[in-house]
């Protein structure tokens, strides 16, 4: 079955790989729980400044593991949830990039929709086909997709179950960029390393929490003001300005967990 591997490079980028190439990285319940554990590890580790989620081989994730041993469609138990990755990527207090270098189908796409940024292969096939399988989209996709691209595009994807290419996904705002497949992971790594070295971890954590919150305009103003008051009272604001003046990379003392709760 698909395993979940975590590797952290010297810069502080954690690469989470869905590793089940022979099954196109299809996910069992155990693998989904392992993905949540990997996210918790990345959230708690101050050495991790950014996260890249990818798949081994030619696919990102072909969806739920349909093999008999995976037992993906057994009758649910009392603790069943349609969002089995706990915590989801959006709760991790670091930037999480989905490097979708190949097909992302069903839960393979809905877990990517929980990430902050999605880079996708131009010719990858993407779909949430659950309505064609007698189910509906999972992993909070009725919020994440609508939140990202609006009701019309979300309805097109979730209610028809149709397949689109990576290029169409980027054109419609479901992904940030469409690239040749070979460029997806290197581009994601370059972006993650830039954030890991240049961005204040505390600022990223506060901004991410606010981005994913479902707040009205007045509440956003209030939360932005609180964040400014917090950050202006730390060494981070001064260091950011000094690094800009001196044309060097900043040396951040703050941590992602300084002002936000753990995932």
Q: Which helix (H) or strand (E) holds 14?
A: strand 13-19
Tell me, yes or no, whether 255 lies in a domain: no
Instruction: Give residue 160's Cα distance to chain centre.
Output: 24
| Max intra-chain CA distance, the chain | 61
pLDDT of residue 104: 98
Is 58 contained in some domain? yes
State the distance between the two ends of the chain, measured CA to CA, in whole angstroms: 26
**How far, in Å, are 11, 25, 99, 184, 198 from residue 59 at the CA level?**
26, 7, 11, 12, 31
Phi-psi region for residue 119, left (φ > 0), alpha (ψ -120 to 50) or beta? Answer: beta
Domain-located, residue 127: yes
* Under 8 Å between Cβ of 11 and 94: no
Q: Do both 30 and 148 map to the same domain?
A: yes
**Structurally, how many domains does the chain consist of?**
2
The confidence score (pLDDT) of residue 73 equals 56
Q: pLDDT per position in the chain (263 positions), as tens?
A: 899 999 999 999 999 999 999 999 999 999 999 999 999 999 999 999 999 999 999 999 999 987 656 555 556 667 889 999 999 999 999 999 999 999 999 999 999 999 999 999 999 999 999 999 999 999 999 999 999 999 999 999 999 999 999 999 999 999 999 999 999 999 999 999 999 999 999 999 999 999 999 999 999 999 999 999 999 978 878 888 899 999 999 999 989 999 899 99
Query: Are 207 and 173 within one domain?
Result: no
Domain-located, residue 259? no
DSSP character at residue 259: S
> Residue 80 has what pLDDT?
87
260 inside domain: no
Confidence at residue 145, expressed as pLDDT on a 0 to 100 scale: 97
Token readout for 187 is 């581009």
What pLDDT, on a 0 to 100 scale, did the predictor assign at position 90?
A: 98
Whether residues 153 and 214 share a domain: the answer is: no
Contacts of 84 (CB under 8 A, 6+ apart): 29, 32, 33, 36, 138, 139
User: Of the candidates 119, 125, 124, 201, which has an alpha carbon nearest to the alpha carbon of residue 161?
Assistant: 125
Q: Burial of 213 by CB count in 10 Å (0-12 exposed, 13-18 middle, 19+ buried)?
A: exposed
**Domain CATH code at residue 135:** 3.90.226.10
In a domain, 254, yes or no: no
CB 137 within 8 A of CB 94: no
Give the three-class secondary structure for 134: coil
pTM of the model: 0.95
Query: Structural domain of residue 214, as residue ranges?
Result: 200-246
pLDDT at 74: 59
Q: Is 163 left (phi over 0), alpha (psi -120 to 50) or beta?
A: beta
Whether 262 is covered by a domain: the verdict is no
List helix spans (H) across 99-216: 107-112, 141-149, 151-160, 166-171, 181-198, 201-212
């Amino acid at each position: 079955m698909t395993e979940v591997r975590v590797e952290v490079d010297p810069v502080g980028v954690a690469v989470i790989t869905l590793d089940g190439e022979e099954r196109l990285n299809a996910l069992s319940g155990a693998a989904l729980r392992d993905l949540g554990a990997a996210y918790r590890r990345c959230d708690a580790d101050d050495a991790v400044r950014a996260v890249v989620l990818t798949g081994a081989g030619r696919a990102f994730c072909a969806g739920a593991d349909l093999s008999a041993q995976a037992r993906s469609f057994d009758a649910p138990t009392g603790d069943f949830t349609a969002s089995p990755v706990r915590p989801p990527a959006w709760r991790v207090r670091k930037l999480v990039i989905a490097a979708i270098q190949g097909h992302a189908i069903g839960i393979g796409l809905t877990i990517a929709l929980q990430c902050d940024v999605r880079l996708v292969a131009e010719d990858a096939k993407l779909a949430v086909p659950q309505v064609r399988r007698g189910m509906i989209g999972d992993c909070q996709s009725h919020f994440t997709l609508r939140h990202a691209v609006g009701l019309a595009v979300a309805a097109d994807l979730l209610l028809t179950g149709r397949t689109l290419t990576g290029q169409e996904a980027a054109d419609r705002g479901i992904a940030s960029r469409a690239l040749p497949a070979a460029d997806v992971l290197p581009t994601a790594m370059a972006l993650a390393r830039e954030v890991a070295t240049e961005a204040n971890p505390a600022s990223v954590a506060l901004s991410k929490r606010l981005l994913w919150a479902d707040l009205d305009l007045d509440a956003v103003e209030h939360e932005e003001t609180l964040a400014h008051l917090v950050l202006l009272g730390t060494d981070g604001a001064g260091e950011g300005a000094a690094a800009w003046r001196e044309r060097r990379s900043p040396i951040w003392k703050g941590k992602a967990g300084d002002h936000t709760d753990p995932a």
